[in-house]
């Protein structure tokens, strides 16, 4: 487009060349490509129902439900809520009462879980049911108690705790996440308040996940980014550019990249007054670093048995469908890992 021989087409992203810009064109282009590539990255879920339980004690194998609260989310916004106390057969333990504040007297006139459940199912519909630490507590409690009088196998659950732990090293407790995102928590350990808090927290967790995915997009172009930054004078590089160059340089120097060969060929063919290849390599860390990186053993040489197993899985997964490729799970070829187990909870 700079020569005027062609004009931008509809939906094209056009980046102007700005010599006085504080950011090198290579960094700008790379980030723009990441944005374009990550347009398809959506939220984990947009429509769902968050829920929370308060119980008679803290043992998921024996406790009963005393309160069920939920929030319906559509397109990322809370549109409705559900809350009901539940009369339990077992008494509320002193420890549980100290946490949520409910006593047996509070539940005297409340409906039973069997009476509450149809209303909750009508509220939730076919939505994914989202809970925090759900797989360890809320989900097994629901399955055990509701399974006595209703079919629960069709329910789909999503636990936000693993997502939070994958994003942050600090505490992943719901209250701590709410504080991190500056979300009003309401009354802690009250089912509806916690369900509403979780809806807001889940939205922010999804946002954080999108941001991380965008930053990790197009790692296959890091060698090209390093080359582009190496062609810029070091005094023109900002702190972020220097960090990107440091991180990306090994990709350009490694044996799996042809960017340096391509650069040398283009420079020769076009007769460009650009830095010579040796100068570019020096800016990327030098030939000794390049030779050391390229001398490192390949994964197949370092882990031959593991790579062989992986290759057998790849070859066996060339079928058009999981059903066609089901034979690959034979015990003789690729036995299931010990930690693998069938689950209906997502």
Cα separation of 34 and 214, whole Å?
6
**Are both 238 and 202 inside the same structural domain?**
no
Answer yes or no: do 230 and 180 share one domain.
no
Task: Give the mean model confidence (pLDDT) for residues 68-75.
Answer: 96
Residue 173 lies in a domain: yes
- Asked whether residue 60 carries a pLDDT value surpassing 90, the answer given is yes
122 within a domain of the structure (yes/no): yes
Tell whether 235 and 156 lie within a shared domain.
no
In the prediction, which pLDDT does 80 show?
97
The reply to whether 223 and 257 lie within a common domain is yes
Residue 167 token pair: 């994003």
User: In the prediction, which pLDDT does 4 show?
Assistant: 58
Quote the number of domains for the chain. 2
State the Rg of the chain over Cα: 28
End-to-end CA distance of the chain: 48
Instruction: Tell me, yes or no, whether 178 and 122 share the same domain.
Output: yes
Contact 88, 65 (CB under 8 A): yes
- Domain C-terminal end among 183, 213, 243: 213
pTM, two decimals, is 0.69
Do residues 191 and 108 share a domain?
yes
pLDDT in tens, 23-41: 668 888 888 888 888 776 7
Element at 165 (helix H, strand E): helix 160-167
> Is residue 333 situated within a structural domain?
no
Question: Domain of 185: which CATH number?
Answer: 3.30.420.10
Report yes or no on 339 lying in a domain.
no
Residues 172 and 60 in one domain: yes
Does residue 19 belong to any structural domain of this protein? Answer: no
- Domain range for 32 is 25-39+218-295
Burial class of 16 by CB neighbour count within 10 A (0 to 12, 13 to 18, 19+): exposed
Q: Say if residue 105 is in the same domain as residue 224.
A: no
């Amino acid at each position: 487009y700079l020569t005027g021989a062609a004009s931008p087409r509809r939906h094209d992203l056009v980046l102007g060349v700005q010599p006085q810009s504080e950011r090198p064109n290579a960094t700008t282009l790379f980030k723009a490509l990441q944005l374009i590539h990550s347009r398809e990255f959506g939220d984990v879920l947009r429509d769902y129902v968050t829920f929370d339980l308060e119980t008679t004690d803290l043992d998921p194998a024996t406790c009963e439900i005393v309160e069920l609260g939920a929030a319906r989310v559509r397109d990322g916004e809370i549109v409705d809520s559900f809350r009901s106390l539940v009369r339990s057969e077992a008494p509320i333990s002193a420890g549980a009462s100290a946490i949520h504040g409910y006593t047996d007297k509070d539940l005297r006139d409340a409906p039973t879980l069997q009476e509450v459940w149809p209303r909750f199912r009508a509220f939730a519909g076919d939505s994914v049911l989202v809970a925090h630490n759900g797989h360890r507590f809320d989900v097994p409690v629901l399955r055990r108690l509701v399974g006595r009088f209703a079919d629960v196998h069709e329910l789909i659950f999503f636990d936000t705790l693993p997502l939070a732990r994958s994003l942050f090293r600090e505490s992943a407790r719901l209250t701590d996440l709410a504080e991190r995102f500056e979300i009003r928590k309401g009354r802690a350990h009250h089912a509806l308040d916690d369900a509403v808090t979780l809806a807001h927290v889940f939205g922010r967790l999804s946002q954080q996940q999108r941001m991380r995915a965008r930053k990790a997009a197009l790692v296959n172009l890091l060698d090209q980014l390093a080359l582009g930054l190496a062609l810029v004078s070091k005094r023109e590089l900002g702190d972020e550019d220097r960090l990107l160059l440091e991180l990306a340089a090994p990709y350009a120097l490694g044996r799996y990249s042809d960017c340096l060969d391509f650069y040398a060929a283009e420079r020769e063919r076009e007769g460009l007054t650009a830095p010579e290849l040796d100068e570019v390599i020096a800016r990327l860390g030098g030939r000794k670093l390049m030779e050391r990186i390229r001398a490192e053993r390949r994964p197949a040489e370092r882990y031959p048995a593991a790579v062989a197993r992986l290759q057998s899985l790849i070859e066996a997964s060339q079928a058009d469908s999981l059903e066609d490729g089901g034979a690959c799970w034979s015990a003789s070829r690729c036995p299931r890992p010990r930690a693998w187990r069938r689950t209906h909870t997502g």
